[in-house]
Structure 1
Amino acid sequence: MESLQVQDYMDHYPVTFTPEMVVEEAALRFLKTKQIGGPVIDQSNRLIGFLSESDVLAKMIETIYYNEHIADVNDLMRKEVLTVKPYDSIIELGQQMLKNKPKVYPVVDDGGNLVGTICRNDVLRAIDLHLRSGFKGK
């Protein structure tokens, strides 16, 4: 079970945002990628926040009400972000996901640089594949 690591099931090319991106552009990025959240990174690829689809939806409603640009990603992003490492256990992450609310976790290296994301569906797929491979010989 310890061989199930985040790096083997994570999304290596996640949707990302920058702090200066306008909320309308972030909304479009969510629509195009069908993602529910994504990391906010600086120019050096360091994780500085997280933006969810619901964060953007709230501001888009305000934008339509006032008919003007309301916010940038920096105004909306959460700065306290739960992260995982590529070498972390999928099983431990699954247990953590049951206790904490995030559905998507940024995966960062030891230097705080973004290397991907992993979501509940990825964890479920990893466990399913592991279980299926174990039952083949029985």
Structure 2
Amino acid sequence: MVKSFQGVREVEPKKSPIHQILVKDHMSTNLVTFGPNDTIDKVMEVLTKKKISGAPVVDESGGLVGIISEVDCLREIIKGKYTNTPGFPGKVSEYMTRDVITLTPDLSLFDAAGKFLELKIRRFPVLKDGRLIGQISLSDVIRAFPKLKHTTW
């Protein structure tokens, strides 16, 4: 009979590569954007045509200055009805949200999901080094998770 005198050995756990699920992997990069001087009627036309609910507002140099949404357009519609003006003369700069909360491309998709729940916002512009590189929406996050069900979270 042979006995081993190596003693008790600690078995190192298998290291599985942790695959980070990041915002940059699921964000939209081909963005519709508007300028601050665009009219609300143009915004409504584009949002309807593209079937989107909002978009970033950028200045002449491409810097993010705000975000415009369907809710912002609704404010102009109500104003037009109240003042009995048939057109929509309002400018994007009058209705857009200026204090935009942004995300970074290397943020975990789970952390982004938490931000959506916490802040009740439907879209976040994604900035890298101060430049707009994409946008992630609540729908993007929802679409990503069924594809991930077989991965280790």
TM-score normalised per structure 2: 0.80
Sort the Cα spacing of 1:66 and 1:116 in 2 relative to 1 into closer, same or farther, 3 A. Answer: same
**Tell me, what secondary structure is at the counterpart of 1:105?**
strand
- Asked whether 1:93 is paired with 2:112, we answer yes
Q: How far did residue 2 of structure 1 move?
A: 6.0
The alignment's C-alpha RMSD in Å is: 1.7
Question: Would you tell me which structure has more helix in proportion to its own residues?
Answer: 1
Percent pairwise identity: 30
- Asked whether 1:20 is paired with 2:37, we answer yes
Q: Which has the higher contact order (CA 8 A, sep 6+)?
A: 1
Task: State the distance in 2 between where 1:2 and 1:121 align.
Answer: 22
Q: Which range moved further: 121-130 or 78-87?
A: 121-130
**Which structure 1 residue ranges, 5 or more long, are not aligned?**
none
User: What residue in structure 1 maps to residue 147 of structure 2?
Assistant: 129
TM-score normalised per structure 1: 0.88
Larger radius of gyration: 2
- Asked whether 1:73 is paired with 2:73, we answer no
Task: State the distance in 1 between where 2:47 and 2:88 align.
Answer: 18
Aligned residues: 133
User: What residue in structure 2 maps to residue 37 of structure 1?
Assistant: 54
Q: Any residues of structure 2 matched to 1:106-125 within 5 Å, and which?
A: 106-110=125-129, 112-125=130-143
**Maintained 8 Å contact 2:76/2:88:** no
Task: State the distance in 1 between where 2:140 and 2:65 align.
Answer: 23
**Which structure 2 residue ranges, 5 or more long, are not aligned?**
1-17
**Maintained 8 Å contact 2:38/2:92:** yes
Sort the Cα spacing of 1:69 and 1:103 in 2 relative to 1 into closer, same or farther, 3 A. Answer: closer
Task: State the distance in 2 between where 1:37 and 1:27 align.
Answer: 9
**Tell me, what secondary structure is at the counterpart of 1:134?**
coil
**Maintained 8 Å contact 1:84/1:107:** yes
**Maintained 8 Å contact 2:125/2:135:** yes
